[in-house]
Structure 1
Amino acid sequence: MAACVAAASPALSADYKALDAEAARLMAVGKIPGLAYAVIEHGKVVHVSAQGWANVEQKRPLRTDTIMYAASISKAAFAQYVLMLVDDGKLDLDRPIKAYLPKPLPDYPRYADLAGDARWETITPRRLLTHSSGLADQRFYDPENKFRFNLEPGTRYAYSNEGINLLQFVIEQGLGLNVGDEMNRRIFVPLGMTRSSMIWRLDFRPNLADGYHEDGKFEEHDERGSVKAAGSLDTTIDDLAKLAAAMVSGQGLSAKARAERTKPSFPIVSKTQFPPFLIVDNPDNVKIGLAAGLGVVVFDGPQGHAFYKGGHNDITDNQLVCIERGERCIVLLTNSGVGQRIFPPLVAAALGDTGMPWAWEYGRALPVEAP
């Protein structure tokens, strides 16, 4: 297996040799084809590493500048942009979205299914970012392929990709802003994230990571042709490390907006994150203050207040975990549907005991050691 390591300085590179070795060991045990990760300390990127294969069959090594699919970590990046709009005075987190739209939401063809249901008028940007709107997760899961409420708005956390994309729609229709272009202008370019985009770019093709299912079956990297705030970000570990550092340090935001991201805006009482509308609760969640922040999940662990965001599909498994004290993070990107096999021990090796609610995130307790 090939490896590529970049660090802030030669001295720091030497400090992380043991962590790289542990990552390589876990990858082999967990049968993970490719892993890219970065460590942030005191709000600065101190180590970036890529190991394994971007494409196993072609023996193409994963590099720190290889394009990987961020999946739902896109939501955290989008929330960073939304908070910038809040700082600009263009968006109020608690103002109903109807105040921003030129016409009622059901008058737009994409949302016509809500005609006659006045509950949409209670939706706010905060409810959409905290998955507390009650809206369906994905309309294609619906037996009739309709967009509808599955719960009363504001009653409980229930993951909704549709809700995040609705906020994108409100910004584009109501404020006249192109979210993909604006995220590039306001986040990616200033941070030097030159190989990141919310929509497919042709220059990504020569150096990107393809994906692998749990059984090892290959699937080609998807070329996403439209911006989806809920999950269309293509990026690299070099780039995403810069965004994580900005998020944990508050770069680009006022102190008030930074605090909005990580305050517990809405309590999470569910036993697991998925399926989102399974009404089974875990009273122990309150012990760690498990709650929705804006585009992230927050909790209180052994090292204090923390936030994280995962990103998953059948060929992708990613995690961003940050601890506010010391402005510390680890970002993990894999081109495997089962990257979670190695996340708990690798996060612990990099950051120590974080108290991450793995069982809630993945619907089951994860092994301390890879299988």
Structure 2
Amino acid sequence: MRLSSVRALGTRLAFAYFMMLPAAGCRSSLGAQAMPTASSIDSLARTLMQRERVQGLALAVIDAGAVTHVAAFGRRSEAGAPLTTGTVMYGASLTKAAVAYLVMQLVDEGRLTLDAPVRTLLPKLLPEYPDYADLATDTRWGDITPRMILNHTTGFANFRWLEPDKRLRLHHAPGTRYGYSGEGFYILQLILEEGLGLDLTAAMQHRVFERFGMTHTSMQWRPDFQENLADGFRADGSIEPHDERSRASAAGSMDTSIEDQATLWAGIVRGDGLSAASRAELVRPQFPITSRHQFPTLDTTAGSEHAAAALSAGVGVVTFTSASGPAWFKGGHNDSTGNMVICLERQRRCVVLLANDVRAERIYPALVRGILGEISMPWSWEYDWLAR
């Protein structure tokens, strides 16, 4: 479906549901647009899911930094077991934003500097590690910093296995252009583990997940997840069994539930556990993004479609200028997963979406518009198929 059609449907549905609001509808302390009722949100979600045959979707709404609604719809397995708000789902690249929150805690403690070059952050040269021997003849690797990794400006492809020869290489000088890269987060994990002596799984558990009471979240597989676990549904409706990840990956190994993600993002919006300066740094526009789409990551084609949104890289998130002021978002995707978090900074208002069916991404523009109103979210940059 083209973006114009998605927008039109979203506008009609949003208008219908906002008209159902009681006169004393909830309004934030900043005088922002009234939020729809929980029942209206749920009804909209079910309507859109039916349209695109989405098998499973969970959502949470945050307003003024507090969780106001959490819900789950559909099924979590081929057998029809229901998806619940406690179902363990794949977090995908939402993991990167959670890891960024850990990094900013370390910055607050003076244990890590965002602009320190990687050549100074490891006990030995990066190419001396077996996974990075491909970089031995390109000294530019030493200029990479944690900020560049978190801004996605390292110069790497998303993953080396997407290269024709499966080898790691720099496509441009670090810090010169945006290009989404999981490879960068592998280096960040190396810095945390080899340079600082942290265990990523333990550090995330103690510093992030336990802080926010996230009892169904982990960077590695836990056997207790099995009792309420979501398998995935691909675009053709076929099943993708949940992957039991035995090793933590900063790029995307987090298993989680919508209940846990709701508390995580509410805490991030409030800035719990961070200094005011580090919380501001998370969502400060730091590197302009001029590409027409996020993927393919090495495509340098520029476009003017999103100029008004002022897309920029923050620390682990993408920032933009919405109709309601500063905003930011983070997605997570694979062949059977579609996750998205969108937050309005001034209102401390967010929509958190986890889906174990990649087709859910087709309904996100209309669903978010029905909850937050028209916020000028650059959907066709995030999802290039919307512009086809």
Comparing 147-156 with 255-264, which one deviates more in the overlay? 147-156
**Counterpart residue number, 2:46:** 24
**Counterpart residue number, 2:143:** 122
Instruction: Determine helix, strand or coil for the equivalent of 2:210.
Output: helix
2:66 corresponds to 1:44:
yes
Q: Which amino acid aligns with 2:57?
A: L
2:55 corresponds to 1:33:
yes
Following the alignment from structure 1 to structure 2, what is the Cα–Cα distance between the partners of residues 252 and 165?
A: 24
TM-score norm. by structure 1 comes to 0.93
Following the alignment from structure 2 to structure 1, what is the Cα–Cα distance between the partners of residues 37 and 292?
A: 38
Unpaired segments ≥5 residues, structure 2: 1-24, 27-35
Instruction: Determine helix, strand or coil for the equivalent of 1:205.
Output: helix
Instruction: Determine helix, strand or coil for the equivalent of 2:211.
Output: helix
2:178 corresponds to 1:157:
yes
2:291 corresponds to 1:265:
no
Unpaired segments ≥5 residues, structure 1: 1-10
2:352 corresponds to 1:323:
no
Q: Which amino acid aligns with 1:165?
A: Y
2:99 corresponds to 1:78:
yes
**Counterpart residue number, 1:5:** none
Q: Deviations over 1:168-202 (max 9, x none)?
A: 11111000001111010011011100000011111
**Counterpart residue number, 2:169:** 148
Following the alignment from structure 1 to structure 2, what is the Cα–Cα distance between the partners of residues 103 and 341?
A: 46
**Counterpart residue number, 2:12:** none
**Counterpart residue number, 2:261:** 240
Cα deviation for residue 136 of structure 1 reads: 2.3
Question: For residues 156-305 of structure 1, what are the structure 2 equivalents within 5 Å?
Answer: 156-305=177-326
Following the alignment from structure 1 to structure 2, what is the Cα–Cα distance between the partners of residues 303 and 128?
A: 29
Aligned partner of 1:87 among 96, 105, 108: 108
**Counterpart residue number, 2:15:** none
Tell me if structure 2 keeps the 8 A contact 1:168–1:179. yes
Instruction: Determine helix, strand or coil for the equivalent of 1:89.
Output: coil
Tell me if structure 2 keeps the 8 A contact 1:35–1:51. yes
Following the alignment from structure 2 to structure 1, what is the Cα–Cα distance between the partners of residues 271 and 166?
A: 40
Cα deviation for residue 352 of structure 1 reads: 1.1
2:83 corresponds to 1:59:
no
Following the alignment from structure 1 to structure 2, what is the Cα–Cα distance between the partners of residues 181 and 105?
A: 24
Q: Which amino acid aligns with 1:39?
A: V
Percent identity, please. Answer: 48
**Counterpart residue number, 2:159:** 138
When residues 43 and 170 of structure 1 are mapped into structure 2, their CA distance, relative to the original with a 3 A threshold, is same
Following the alignment from structure 2 to structure 1, what is the Cα–Cα distance between the partners of residues 247 and 66?
A: 32
Cα deviation for residue 206 of structure 1 reads: 1.1
Cα deviation for residue 137 of structure 1 reads: 1.4
Following the alignment from structure 1 to structure 2, what is the Cα–Cα distance between the partners of residues 217 and 198?
A: 26
Q: Which amino acid aligns with 2:86?
A: D
2:344 corresponds to 1:335:
no
Cα deviation for residue 15 of structure 1 reads: 3.3
Following the alignment from structure 1 to structure 2, what is the Cα–Cα distance between the partners of residues 58 and 348?
A: 32
Instruction: Determine helix, strand or coil for the equivalent of 2:327.
Output: strand
Instruction: Determine helix, strand or coil for the equivalent of 1:103.
Output: coil
Instruction: Determine helix, strand or coil for the equivalent of 2:340.
Output: strand
Instruction: Determine helix, strand or coil for the equivalent of 1:331.
Output: strand
Following the alignment from structure 2 to structure 1, what is the Cα–Cα distance between the partners of residues 372 and 265?
A: 15
Instruction: Determine helix, strand or coil for the equivalent of 1:309.
Output: strand
**Counterpart residue number, 2:33:** none
If asked which structure has higher relative contact order (CA below 8 Å, sep 6+), I would say: 2
4+ residue runs over 4 A deviation: none
**Counterpart residue number, 2:19:** none
Cα deviation for residue 366 of structure 1 reads: 6.7
TM-score norm. by structure 2 comes to 0.89
Following the alignment from structure 1 to structure 2, what is the Cα–Cα distance between the partners of residues 120 and 59?
A: 48
Cα deviation for residue 284 of structure 1 reads: 4.3
Q: Deviations over 1:138-180 (max 9, x none)?
A: 1111222211112221111001100011101111100000111
Tell me if structure 2 keeps the 8 A contact 1:42–1:328. yes
Q: Deviations over 1:47-104 (max 9, x none)?
A: 000010011x311000000000011111110101011110110011111121111111
Following the alignment from structure 2 to structure 1, what is the Cα–Cα distance between the partners of residues 319 and 104?
A: 17
Tell me if structure 2 keeps the 8 A contact 1:248–1:327. yes
Cα deviation for residue 227 of structure 1 reads: 0.7
Following the alignment from structure 2 to structure 1, what is the Cα–Cα distance between the partners of residues 126 and 299?
A: 27
Cα deviation for residue 285 of structure 1 reads: 3.4
Instruction: Determine helix, strand or coil for the equivalent of 2:68.
Output: strand
Q: Which amino acid aligns with 2:288?
A: P
Alignment length, in residue pairs?
355
Tell me if structure 2 keeps the 8 A contact 1:358–1:364. no
